[in-house]
Chains A and B, each alone.
Chain A
Amino acid sequence: MTRSKDFDFVGLFLWVFRAVILILIVWGTYATIADNPYETRTWVDFIIFGLAQGSMYALIAIGYTLVYGVLFMINFAHGEFFMAGILTTTVVITTPLSESGFLNEQPILSLLIIAISSMAVSIFISVLTERIAYRPLRKAPRLVPLITAIGASYFWQNYFRGLFGSGIKPIPQIEILDGTIPLDFLGTTMLKSHVLVIVTTIVMLIALNFFIMKTKTGKAIRAVAEDKDVANLMGINVDQTISITFATGAAMAGIAGVLYSLVFRQVHFFMGFIPGIKAFTAAVLGGIGSLPGAAVGGLLLGMFESVGPSLFLRGLGIPAFNQLKDVIAFTMLVMVLIFRPQGIVGEVLSEKKA
């Protein structure tokens, strides 16, 4: 919707806001590069870490984008589906698998069991949430489902806290994921767990693409995203399709949860919230509603977050700049939502309905 506005105060303010951020970034980058504090290898490590982190954001972002594409709502509780994946991983990997020694005897099989159970739990709570908290409110004003989504988010967070306890839990190391592999052509090494993250993400994204584009269910999802009423007339079960959409997003988030636990190896019930918001940032960055956008947005955000503090903030002479990693991510969120809500990567898929 275009709006006519002359030069005005708000425009000026926003312009200044944008200019200040840009100047800070350019200045910081310049000062850092002039100072040249790290070797190339360190930068490559930053980027690799960013890619691994970004892959997880991408997987979570898929869920936001799918649900937004279909229902035009921000599923605020999506971060908790990711958290459910994390906590399920913790429980499954510790109690039955690690204690019996099965984990290191049959690592591949164990990983499969972990992945399937995490996905199952994530899918279960996402479908339940949709059924109870969102479906009855589909025709309500937009803020209403957003409020229930916030409620659902805190409900699940604390439900899992009650079930599994509130402490930080360690995750046992899987031997085959221990150590690094050399990357000679870049002159650095890469953690095996990071390799697993990136490979799994690529596989999942390809599978998702196939599911959405080629299968009948995928077509139904796209049809519902296009127009629910028409889809209904064409004989598509809209409610069921929406449930499947939620389940698909939650499955991706569940996998992301598994990967997250394997990489960071310390988990906590509150862990879904911040990555959830960041993944939402990634989804918006890539143009919400667009699947490739979510993937690209996730990777971009991961890299910014990983390289950003050292590149932008170090040059500004900020002490302990790594503490401000999240500030970079949230600044990106704010900037993107204010200045380019249609995203910077993907095209606008659903602007007309938004």
Chain B
Amino acid sequence: MNIKKTYRDAWNTGWTAGIVALSISALGLAELFAKRNIVSGVITMGQVMVFIVPIVMAYNFTKNLSMEQRKTGPLFGAVIGATTAIPLVLLIIASTLFNIRDIFVNVSPSLIELLTFGQENAYLGGLLLLVSMALLSYLSAYTHQLPEKIKRSLFTGLITILLVGMFSEILTERIRSIFGAIFGSSVGSAIVRFLFKSKAIQSIPAIVVFAIATYVGYRKIPKTEEEKNKSKRAFIVDGKVQWKTVIPLAVLLLILPLLLGTYLSEVTNNVGIYILMGLGLNIVVGFAGLLDLGYVAFFAIGAYTMAVLTSTGPLGLFGMSFWLALPICVIVAALAGVMLGIPVLRMRGDYLAIVTLGFGEIISRLAISDMLKPYVGGAQGILQIPKPSIGSLVFTKPEVLYYVVLAGVLLALFVSWRLRDSRLGRQWMAMREDEDVAEAMGINLMKTKILAFSIGAAFSGLAGAIFASKLTSIFPHSFNVLISINVLSLIIVGGIGSLPGVIVGAAVLIGLPELLREFAEYRLLMYGLLLIVMMLAKPEGFVPSEVHKRELHATDEDFVAEAGD
């Protein structure tokens, strides 16, 4: 093989990595996460974010090399690492020459400090950056020459330490309260002090954790494909409920808030509300193949209906209880689904997406306008929405509200699952595959589409109703098109048409950013990137629907339109 060409490829890969690393720096991500230590006083997440780019690129690059070229692999890795550093070094030098921050607001002195390892001299710092990137990439590429087992155990260790570091804030809190509850609060605090410092794991515990994780990784024998399939937990096999898997899961779900505590329960509730919406949109987009970008409208309708029906404030009309209002919200949202569904029925694909987007925008503009202010409160929204209650028990704490969300999610999951495996589910899928033929099979497209729209809307309405009651006040600004995009992203990442995919997608896309709160500002950047990357690399999602890994890998040639005669 041509070694020169490989060097050129490495050089190009390095530049790509360089642009990515430069983006991470210039967009402010690196600096933002510099505040989050991974290992206290040793390494911050900001550094990880910059350095991980050449490391991963070098790793992947060498992985794809031929066996023969892998021997020189680490050198290619070093080239990639060094090249990645070039744009960053240029940035460092530029920042000393003129005030670059006037234009790129995030190129701050502390970013430069991060990149130069605190060196006063920019050139020395730049050199240091270049050398360390080259070295780390060299090592990363070198791992391919290690025995498989060692490589795997190293990665297990590294990833564990990274995760522990990233989530050390939550771990701290959880360890303190759980150990505190068992051994008394002083013991809990002592343990925490020993393990963590300034919201990050201490060096020595870090080494211990790394060692343990590496050892575990070393001992673990990877499963073969067959074993993987065997160990896959199914709730129902051949029509029989597998109590062995169902009961532990049910118990876990029931005691979850106790393990999680207030903050994590709150996060779980938010994830749950998105799961509800995701399940609804999954019916519309995943099952029936109708891309609805105005999906937030039904969420808003559910929330506003709940608000108007139950609020004790001036805009509340009936002062109903949460439980009485809940089914009404669902029905109103479903009816709205029918109303919005009918006009768009005859549209296909992209036009449908834009029209639903238009409807969504119209509704959000109306909600905020003075025209409807006497009814929905305009920009000031509706306040004083009571939380759900049973008798004297008011569901104030997130730990309790969790059960309402859980019930909603389980119901929606159950309905989705039953409908998917039914006549209606087949109609939806047939329609998604080929509308004309589906109609020629005797399927009433109008009815089938309206059902998809309204059932999807009902789930979203349920989510909205719980949302309103959870927050106790709602404002039109909470219901913008970004919600639709969030939901769309999560079902695409999870796997379009896949029920477990919705849950995984929501946990990753909604839960994770809430845990890494700094991330909030960059959430949509990541979603946008994820949508593109998923469609390019893994259109069926991370948890593809079991039977049908289909469709998105198909090319147009499978669906050539009927050509005249």
Contact = CB atoms under 8 A, between A and B. Distances in A.
Interface of A: 8-10, 13-14, 17, 73-74, 91, 95, 132-133, 136-137, 139-148, 150-159, 161-166, 273-274, 277, 280-281, 318-321, 323-324, 326-327, 330-331, 333-334, 337-338, 341
B291 interface: yes
B23 interface: yes
A141 B556 contact: yes
B349 interface: yes
B106 A137 contact: no
A18 B26 CA distance: 50
B535 A137 contact: yes
B555 interface: yes
Interface string B276-311: 000000000000010101000000000000000000
B146 interface: no
A330 B557 contact: no
Contact of B355 (A8, A13, A152, A333): A333
Main SS class of interface, B:
helix
A274 B480 CA distance: 12
Given A151-B528, A158-B525, A163-B104, A142 B552 contact: no
A136 B536 contact: yes
Nearest to A17: B343
B315 to A, nearest CB: 17
B371 A153 contact: no
Interface of B: 23, 26-29, 102-106, 289, 291, 293, 342-347, 349-351, 353-355, 357-359, 361-362, 365-366, 368-371, 373, 446, 481, 485, 488-489, 492, 521-522, 524-525, 527-532, 535-536, 539, 551-552, 554-557, 559
B365 A154 contact: no
A10 B525 CA distance: 40
Contacts of A14: 342-343
B371 to A, nearest CB: 5
A143 B349 contact: yes
A152 B528 contact: yes
Contacts of B103: 91, 95, 164
A158 B102 contact: no
Which 4 A/B pairs are nearest by Cβ-Cβ distance?
A151-B531, A162-B27, A155-B528, A154-B528
B342 A147 contact: no
A104 to B, nearest CB: 19
Nearest to B349: A142
B524 A148 contact: no
Please indicate which of the listed interface residues B105, B342, B350, B489 has the most CB atoms of chain A within 10 Å of its own CB. Answer: B350
Given A144-B539, A146-B350, A158 B522 contact: yes
A13 B365 contact: no
A162 B358 contact: no
Nearest to A281: B358
Contacts of B528: 150-158
Contacts of B359: 330, 334
B344 A338 contact: yes
A321 B27 CA distance: 39
A152 B532 contact: yes
A162 B555 contact: no
11 contacts: A141-B554, A142-B350, A144-B552, A145-B535, A148-B531, A148-B532, A151-B529, A152-B532, A323-B371, A326-B361, A330-B359
A126 B532 CA distance: 15
B371 A331 contact: no
A163 B26 contact: yes
A334 B556 contact: no
Contacts of B371: 318-321, 323-324
A154 B488 CA distance: 13
B105 A165 contact: yes
A110 B544 CA distance: 54
B49 to A, nearest CB: 13
B350 A163 contact: no
Given A140-B552, A144-B552, A151-B530, 18 more contacts: A133-B532, A137-B535, A139-B555, A140-B535, A143-B350, A146-B353, A147-B291, A147-B492, A150-B531, A151-B532, A152-B532, A154-B525, A158-B528, A165-B106, A280-B354, A281-B358, A321-B371, A323-B369
Nearest to A13: B342
A164 B354 contact: no
A327 B365 contact: yes
Contacts of A274: 361
B524 A323 contact: no
B535 A151 contact: yes
A353 B345 CA distance: 20
A337 B351 contact: yes
Contact of A13 (B291, B343, B353, B531): B343
A147 B555 contact: no
A201 B524 CA distance: 33
B532 A338 contact: no
Contacts of A318: 371
Contact of B349 (A8, A146, A162): A146
A157 B559 CA distance: 34
B559 to A, nearest CB: 7
B351 A327 contact: no
A147 B355 contact: no
Contacts of A148: 531-532, 535-536
